[in-house]
Amino acid sequence: MLYSNESDLKILCNLLSPFVTNPPHSKINWIEIIALANHRYLVPALWAALNNKGWLSMLDPQLKEYLTAIYQLNLSRNNILLQQLNEIVLVCNHLGIEPILIKGAASLVENIYIHLGARFMIDLDILVPDTRLNEVVNELIKCGYFIPEKFQHHNDNLHHAAPMCKSGGVGSVELHRRITESQNLDDELINFTTSIVNLSNGGQARLLSPNAQILHNILHSEIHHQYYYLYSLNLRQLHHFIILSHYYNDKINWQHIQYFMKQHNYQNILDCYLYSAYQLFNGPILVSPKLLTRGHFWLASLDNSYLRRFFKFYVLLKKSFNTNNLKNRYLITEQQSLWKIRIKHLMYLLKRYSNAKNRQRMRSILIQMD
């Protein structure tokens, strides 16, 4: 089972959803709900949602105190992240750059969660022109930022530079040269109208349009991190999608989003994502009969642990036999046969995972990916 109790997942999503305004009628096992929220890094968001709806009184005093303490800790963390963000934007402005804030960085300044401490954030994602990225990195180094040792050999072909940290900071900073790994997708997303936002320290940045933020949320979760292909549910990203949908409401052109995803052959992914949002969070998206069938099968498959792990194993195996991966691993020359290298790699995998300890390790990896 994906969750110990399927109703717990639905209850948690209803509590989190701004589209659900009526209090739950059934008795809630708050210990299970909070444990599930903990597992998905959603405890601060749960406190914020219950506070917004006036439902904190439903909790026992000790549980209420626990949620409040976690929220306050995350609020303090996000305040420091906001200070870091202000500093970085100002550095960019001094270089004549108006950076585009994406993902959590955008939500910090747009305040879409109402409460600053509601979203748990790992890092700050900021888009700058590719031709100026190294210039910004050098300026941040002058301001006390550094690249941790484990990221020193970062692949420069990725869509963002190596994560940077600062002593006294609480999260890393990822300067993006692209929003996605595809230049074509990037060009279309950035071409959407962006709005200017003024920060408290006088810095000036830009935000993606509501349509582009919705699309980036889906592309990042389901394609970049492959949750769709792995038959996994990224509840934190889906919750962010719901918050974006509620906050921007009439500013979102759903027909345009449907057209964009269809043009790039991502219609199935969009259908399953919308269905999950509709089914779990009571999202406002109208569900067509076709979407209902496709989305229901995908969401139902999440509860089949064997099926889910099969698809995860398939994706990992596909990555392992990727041509670029094999070329880098075996230093293939043009004279060498790719098929011979694939056979060699297959024999390596069979030999490695014939060992019981390594088989258990692989099984543990697949389970952890849940």
Inter-residue contact 274 to 295 (CB < 8 Å): yes
Between helix 289-301 and helix 267-281 the angle, nearest 10°, is 80
The 10s digit of each residue's pLDDT in 239-278 is 999 999 999 999 999 999 999 999 999 988 898 899 889 8
Query: 204 - beta bridge partners?
Result: 198
Residue 25: closest CA among 5, 45, 11: 11
CATH 3.30.460 fits 40-208, yes or no: yes
Record the tokens describing residue 342, joined without a space. Answer: 């694939």
**How long, in residues, is the chain?**
370
The model's pTM: 0.80
The 10s digit of each residue's pLDDT in 313-326 is 665 666 677 777 67
β 195-198/204-207 pair status: antiparallel
pLDDT at 57: 92
Residue 222: count other Cβ atoms within 10 Å of its Cβ. Answer: 23
Coil, helix or strand at residue 327: helix
Residue 245: closest CA among 276, 288, 205, 201: 276
pLDDT at 2: 41
Quick one: DSSP state of residue 19? Answer: T
d(CA 302, CA 297): 9
Query: Domains of the chain: which residue ranges?
Result: 40-208, 307-368
d(CA 173, CA 317): 31
Coil, helix or strand at residue 165: strand
Coil, helix or strand at residue 31: helix
pLDDT at 263: 92
Record the tokens describing residue 319, joined without a space. Answer: 């990555």
* Half-sphere exposure at residue 86, Cβ-oriented, CA atoms within 13 angstroms: 12
Record the tokens describing residue 92, joined without a space. Answer: 């960019």
Q: What does the DSSP assignment read for 223-249?
A: IIS-TTTTT---HHHHHHHHHHHHHHG
pLDDT at 291: 59
Extract the residue ranges of the chain whose pLDDT is less than 50: 1-4, 304, 365-370
Record the tokens describing residue 138, joined without a space. Answer: 């050098």
pLDDT at 1: 34
pLDDT at 95: 97
